[in-house]
Amino acid sequence: MTTTGIWQAVVIVPPPLAPAFEEALEAASEAGALACSRFETTPGGPWSIQVLLQGPVDKKALETRLALAAAALDVPAPILSLSPVPEQDWVTASYRAQPPVQAGRFFVHGAHDRGTAPGGAITLEVDAGRAFGNGRHETTYGCLLALDHLAKTRRYRQPLDLGCGAGVLALAMARLWRVPVVATDIDPWAVAVARDNARRNHLHPWVRPLLSDGFAHPNLAAGAPYDLIMANILARPLQRLAPAIAQHLAPGGRVVLSGLLAKQDAQVRAAYMAQGLYLRRRRLLGEWLTLELTR
């Protein structure tokens, strides 16, 4: 464990994997990232991810999160460099570096951009760096686009956010339909952040965050079947959960999957086809996919 102050975490990774490892570093910090950046070290070469963290920082926790992300992507874990930096007004700097995200009708912003949403937008206030999924990563962005599309054709009454992270997707579903939304995560910190974000957005009467590994929590079975299941996780957990997701899906229900790279498309879809679920829509954002499936 480091001392207090500001610390810089740096990893060097291949370009397609930079977003995933950036999110892993952000999510591993209980105090939250103050600022994040990624850039090419040389034209066409590897990318450097630099994340500023408020100390004390648990280096082992950062390395564990990087190792888990690497295992899910079937690549070696990057080497983590952690060093102290001189104090500055990092909060102000991070605000400037984190503009709002607009995905379809959704406008995801931090507290510093409150009141700046365009007319007709569906607003969600989520500060950057508190847990995975603040709308900036291609996977969360793709899921928000999928929700915006789905909401134009149907009202869902029993949605589930499986692997909720900061809770953005659960908040989005609650804002759209004003129905109870179950939001689960394997990480206690993510569950706490999702609960806090629900209160911040005045959606706590509808969003119910639960600590659960997949469908292990008994309340998940009690709330089934779900007519919409959002699962923004990673390719391996998505494959492992395919039978349970199919089992808990209502007839005619939809499944939205993300957190997988384009090269993992066939293997993930095969796992769901084996459960009788077929592709309805495929979104490619950079190297990342969002899939909409139905029975």
Per residue in 90-99, pLDDT (tens digit) is: 454 554 556 7
Distances 195 to 204, 228, 281, 290 between C-alpha atoms, Å:
7, 20, 30, 25
Give the per-residue pLDDT at 18: 87
The answer, yes or no, to whether residue 147 has pLDDT greater than 90, is: yes
Confidence of residue 128 (pLDDT cuts 50, 70, 90): low
Give the per-residue pLDDT at 79: 94
CA distance 217 to 211: 7
The answer, yes or no, to whether residue 53 has pLDDT greater than 90, is: no
CA distance 22 to 280: 30
Give the per-residue pLDDT at 85: 79
Assign residue 211 a region: left if phi > 0, alpha if psi is -120 to 50, beta otherwise?
beta
Q: Which CATH number applies to 134-294: 3.40.50.150, 3.20.20.70, 3.40.50.720, 1.10.3720.10? A: 3.40.50.150
Confidence of residue 34 (pLDDT cuts 50, 70, 90): low
The answer, yes or no, to whether residue 123 has pLDDT greater than 90, is: yes
Which positions ≥6 away from 205 have C-beta within 8 Å? none
* Average pLDDT over the chain, rounded to an integer: 88
Give the per-residue pLDDT at 168: 95
Domain with CATH 3.30.70.2190 in the chain: 5-96
Report the relative pairing of strands 5-13 and 81-85 from DSSP bridges. Answer: antiparallel
Domain with CATH 3.40.50.150 in the chain: 134-294
Residue 40: HSE in the Cβ half-sphere, 13 Å Cα cutoff: 5
Looking at domain 5-96, its CATH architecture is 2-Layer Sandwich (3.30)
Q: What integer is the mean pLDDT of 103-123?
A: 89
**Between these two residues, 72 and 27, which has the higher pLDDT value?**
72
Confidence of residue 33 (pLDDT cuts 50, 70, 90): low
Per residue in 214-267, pLDDT (tens digit) is: 999 999 988 999 999 999 998 999 999 999 999 999 999 999 999 999 999 999
For the chain, the first-to-last Cα distance in angstroms comes to: 48
Which range scores top for mean pLDDT: 58-72, 126-140, 223-237?
223-237
Give the per-residue pLDDT at 29: 56
Give the per-residue pLDDT at 133: 59
**Tokens (6 digits) for 145:** 């686009």
